Amino acid sequence: MKDMPDIHTLMADIGARAKAAAAELAFAPAEAKASALNAAADAVWASRAAIVAANAKDLEYGREKGLSDAMMDRLLLTEDRIRGIVDGLRAVAAQDDPVGQVMADWDRPSGLHIRRVRTPLGVVGVIYESRPNVTADAGALCLKAGNAVILRGGSESFHSSTAIHAALVEGLRAAGLPEDAIQLVPTRDRAAVSEMLTMTESIDVIVPRGGKGLVGLVQREARVPVFAHLEGIVHIYIDKAADPVKALKVVINAKTRRTGICGAAECLLIHRDVVDDIGQGVIRALIEAGVEVRADAALKAIPGTAEATEADWGKEYLDKIIAARVVDDIDAAIAHIRRYGSNHTDAIITEDDAAAERFFTRLDSAILMRNASTQFADGGEFGMGAEIGIATGKMHARGPVGAEQLTSFKYLVTGDGTVRG
């Protein structure tokens, strides 16, 4: 790009424009936002040829960079995938608008009436990696919640994201909303990320979506509040009171349905008393399903298992691999998860209510499950509509982050000349 100003100036300008747009968006009618999203969906579909062409440039760049097949697949946009983006935009458009919703209201003896209503957060910064569809998903969710958004996509998807972004802006324009409501950082320069992490004047929250490199950078440099999205080091504990059929169904689904998502199971903990029946059966079924089982000493007699090392505990494989370990009791399972987990999603298989309660009370993962596949860790499956990710921090948003989680609130208090005694 020619005549690009220096990164600091560029980002400061983007921030100021986002802030100005956010001030208008905060009271934009729900219809205008929905109409912008539908118009954006139309524009994405109408420009699908241009998007595919832009994507071809990214794929070429990816090939030159030697990206893995998995990465190349994440980067690829086909007409089918563009249809998915369009459907996603329309789905967010059709959701309830969270802004202005009354979360609670009550009267006070003083005569005051108090309402707690949802408001936008302001300006959201989204930093993401290769998947270009995040440009549309994140842009749409932030807009739905009345926020301005600054999108900083991965350098690999630069041209694809730019083409999708152009369609989003077309939607804003058609609905008469400020075009600065959805901005895409127009440079691959990684310094833009560091700038965003310190723009406390203009960015209200950063949503980082990416691997360990990005998470580490955010932890070191962020001065803006962050919705932490750590890895999904997902554990399943098979309790001594587990139902064998449920254990089998759930573990196989949690590990094999899709291995690359953050809700995929990564570690199996088995109560010592049920190793020989349920444990054996589950591990054999995993191996038959083509999963590499990295087992501890107590399990390594099972044919086909590989030997686990210390590095396997707390590891997110995102692949057809699972770690497996025998534990003496539920407290040992809890201790293992506390030590190696990432507070994302963890599950217990048990018919014992007291054991489930103990697991639910003593662990503090964003999502805890009983007798259900951890692959349900997803905003859509929770009934929240689309999501921008699964937050693992404790502040503000936790678990699936949809439009509602991208809001704040304020108190509206009405009296009638009411004064305090």
Q: Which residues bind a copy of itself (CB under 8 A)?
A: 23, 26-27, 100, 106, 108, 110, 112, 114, 119, 121-122, 200, 204-205, 219, 223, 225, 243, 245-246, 249-250, 252-254, 257, 338, 356, 360-362, 364-373, 375-376, 381-383, 393-396, 398-399, 408-420
Sign of CA dihedral 389, 391, 392, 393: positive
CB nearer to a copy of itself: give 294 or 398: 398
CB nearer to a copy of itself: give 280 or 408: 408
In the complex, the smallest distance separating the C-beta of residue 27 from a copy of itself, rounded to whole angstroms, is 5
Angle, helices 133-144/30-46, rounded to nearest 10 degrees = 170
CB nearer to a copy of itself: give 62 or 208: 208
Sign of CA dihedral 37, 12, 128, 131: positive
In the complex, the smallest distance separating the C-beta of residue 266 from a copy of itself, rounded to whole angstroms, is 16
CB nearer to a copy of itself: give 56 or 372: 372
In the complex, the smallest distance separating the C-beta of residue 242 from a copy of itself, rounded to whole angstroms, is 10
In the complex, the smallest distance separating the C-beta of residue 80 from a copy of itself, rounded to whole angstroms, is 19
In the complex, the smallest distance separating the C-beta of residue 419 from a copy of itself, rounded to whole angstroms, is 4
In the complex, the smallest distance separating the C-beta of residue 402 from a copy of itself, rounded to whole angstroms, is 13
CB nearer to a copy of itself: give 78 or 414: 414
Q: Name the token pair of 290.
A: 């083509």
Cβ neighbours for 60, distance < 8 A, ≥ 6 positions apart: none
CB nearer to a copy of itself: give 309 or 414: 414
Specify which residues 399 forms β-bridges with.
391
- Stated as kind and residue range, the H or E segment containing 12 is helix 7-25
